Amino acid sequence: MNARTKDRVGSLLALVFVASLAVQRDYSTSFGGIFPDSIMILLVLLVLATFVLSFTPHAAMKDRVREGAPEAAEDLPRRKPMVVVAVILLAWALLLRPVGFALSSIVGFTAIAWYLAGERKDPKVILRSALVGIAITAALMLVFGQLLRVPLPRGSLL
Amino acid sequence: MNRSLVAAIVLGAGAAAGIAPAHAAEYPSEPLNYVICFNPGGESDITARIQEQALKRHYKQGVVVSYKIGGGGSVGWSDLVHSTKPDGYTLAGHNLPHIVLQPLQRGNAGYQTSDLENVYIFESTPNILLVRNDSPYKTLKDFIAAAKGKPSGLTLGGSGSASANELGTIMLNKAAGIRTTYVPFTGSGSAAPALMGGHVSGLMSYSTMAIEHKGKFRALAIMTDERMKVLPDVPTFKELGYDLVEGAYRGVAAPPGTPDDVVKKAAAIFEDVMNDPEVVKKMDENGFKIEKMGPEQSTAFVNSRIPLYKDLVKDLGQAKAK
Amino acid sequence: MLSNLLTGLQHLATLQNLLLVIAGTTVGMVAGALPGLTATMAVALLVPFTYAMTATNGLVLLGAIYMGCIYGGAFSAILINTPGTPSSIGTTFDGYPMARAGRGEQAIVAATIGSAIGGVFGVIALIFLAPLLAEVALRFGPAEYFWVGVFGLTIISSLAQGSMLKGLAGAAIGVLISTIGIAPVGGDVRFTYGSVAMQGGVDLIVILIGLFCIPEVLTIASRAHVRAESLEYKRDKGVFWNTTKEVLAQRANLLRSSIIGTIIGILPGAGGSIANLVSYNEARRASKTPEKFGTGHLEGVVATETANNAVVGGGMIPLVTLGVPGAPPDAIIYGVLMLQGLHPGPEMFKERADVTYTFMLGLGLSALVMVPIGIYGGRLLTRFVATLPKRYLVPGIAILTIIGSYAIRNNITDVILMLGFGVVGYWLKYLGFEASPIVLGLILGPIMETGLVQALLIGQQYSSPWTALFVSPLSWILIALSFLSFVWPYFGPLRRKFQKPALAPRQP
DSSP string, C228-286: S-SS-----TTHHHHHHHHHHT-HHHHHHHHHHHHHHHHSTT--HHHHHHHHHHHHHHH
pLDDT digits (tens, 9 = 90+) for B7-58: 444 444 444 444 444 444 588 998 999 999 988 888 899 999 999 989 999 9
Residue B105 to residue A28, Cβ atoms within 8 A: yes
How far is it, in rounded angstroms, from Cα B59 to Cα C151? 51
Instruction: Check residue A158 and give its pLDDT.
Output: 65
CA-based max dimension of chain C: 75
Residues 6+ apart with CB under 8 A from C278: C152, C155, C260, C264, C307
Q: How many CB pairs under 8 A join A and B?
A: 23
| Amino acid sitting at position C61 | L
- C156-180 average pLDDT score: 85
For residue B95, which residues of chain C lie inside 8 Å, CB to CB? none
Higher pLDDT, A2 or B34: B34
Nearest residue to B156 via CA among B143, B175, B174: B143
How far is it, in rounded angstroms, from Cα B208 to Cα C323? 12
For residue B105, which residues of chain A lie inside 8 Å, CB to CB? 28
CB C66 within 8 A of CB C360: no
For residue A150, which residues of chain B lie inside 8 Å, CB to CB? 66
- C120-145 average pLDDT score: 90
CB atoms within 10 A of CB A131: 13
Q: Which of residues 69-88 of A touch C (CB under 8 A)?
A: 77-79, 81-82, 84-86
pLDDT digits (tens, 9 = 90+) for C26-61: 999 998 998 878 898 888 888 888 877 899 999 999
Instruction: Check residue C497 and give its pLDDT.
Output: 60
Rounded mean pLDDT of chain C?
Answer: 87
- C122-134 average pLDDT score: 89
Instruction: Check residue C225 and give its pLDDT.
Output: 67
| A71 has pLDDT over 80 | no
Chain B nearest-CA distance from A36, in A, is 14
Nearest to B319 among C201, C341, C460 (CB): C460
How far is it, in rounded angstroms, from Cα C376 to Cα B269? 48
For residue B321, which residues of chain C lie inside 8 Å, CB to CB? 453, 456-457, 465
CB atoms within 10 A of CB A80: 9
Q: How far is CA C469 from the centre of its chain?
A: 27
CB atoms within 10 A of CB B17: 8
Instruction: Check residue A150 and give its pLDDT.
Output: 79
pLDDT digits (tens, 9 = 90+) for B100-143: 998 888 777 889 999 999 999 999 999 999 999 999 999 999 99
| 3-class DSSP assignment, residue B179 | coil
Q: How many CB pairs under 8 A join B and C?
A: 167
How far is it, in rounded angstroms, from Cα C212 to Cα B267? 46
Instruction: Check residue A107 and give its pLDDT.
Output: 95
How far is it, in rounded angstroms, from Cα B113 to Cα B95? 11
Interface test with C, best of A27, A31, A63, A149 (most C CBs within 10 A): A31
Instruction: Check residue C233 and give its pLDDT.
Output: 56
- A73-92 average pLDDT score: 81
Q: What are residue B32's DSSP bridge partners?
A: B63
How far is it, in rounded angstroms, from Cα C213 to Cα B64? 30
Q: What are residue B232's DSSP bridge partners?
A: none
Instruction: Check residue B9 and give its pLDDT.
Output: 47
How far is it, in rounded angstroms, from Cα B87 to Cα B259? 7
Chain C nearest-CA distance from A136, in A, is 8
Instruction: Check residue B319 and give its pLDDT.
Output: 45
- C221-231 average pLDDT score: 63
Nearest to A82 among C169, C188, C221 (CB): C221
| C310 has pLDDT over 90 | yes
| A105 has pLDDT over 60 | yes
pLDDT digits (tens, 9 = 90+) for C454-500: 999 998 878 888 999 999 999 999 999 999 888 877 776 666 666 55
Instruction: Check residue B20 and give its pLDDT.
Output: 41
In this structure, of B103-107, C115-119, C403-407, C423-427, the range with the lowest mean pLDDT score is: B103-107
- Quick one: which H or E segment has residue B157? strand B155-159
Across B63-80, b (16+ Cβ under 10 Å) vs e yields bbbbbbbbbbbbbbbbbb
pLDDT digits (tens, 9 = 90+) for C367-383: 999 999 999 988 888 88
Q: How many CA atoms lie within 13 A of C124 on its CB side?
A: 11
| C239 has pLDDT over 90 | no
How far is it, in rounded angstroms, from Cα A33 to Cα A27? 6
CB B202 within 8 A of CB B195: yes
Q: pLDDT above 70 covers what percent of chain A?
A: 90
Q: What are residue B203's DSSP bridge partners?
A: B130, B157
pLDDT less than 70: residues of chain B: 1-25, 151-152, 317-322
Instruction: Check residue C507 and give its pLDDT.
Output: 42
Chain C nearest-CA distance from A103, in A, is 12
Nearest residue to C322 via CA among C492, C140, C51, C81: C140
Instruction: Check residue A91 and give its pLDDT.
Output: 96
pLDDT digits (tens, 9 = 90+) for C169-200: 999 999 999 999 888 887 788 998 988 888 88
| C303 has pLDDT over 50 | yes
Chain A nearest-CA distance from C358, in A, is 26
Q: Which of residues 106-135 of A touch C (CB under 8 A)?
A: 108-118, 129, 132-133
Q: What are residue B117's DSSP bridge partners?
A: B254
Identify the band that residue C115 occupies on the pLDDT scale cut at 50, 70 and 90: very high
Residues, chain C: 508
Nearest residue to C122 via CA among C354, C306, C343, C336: C306
List the end-to-end C-alpha distance of chain C, in Å, as a whole number.
59
| 3-class DSSP assignment, residue B33 | strand
| 3-class DSSP assignment, residue B289 | strand
Instruction: Check residue B317 and give its pLDDT.
Output: 55
Q: Which of residues 88-107 of B touch A (CB under 8 A)?
A: 105
pLDDT digits (tens, 9 = 90+) for A14-66: 999 999 999 999 887 777 889 999 999 999 999 999 999 888 888 787 777 76
Q: What are φ and ψ of residue B121, in 5° steps? A: -115, 120
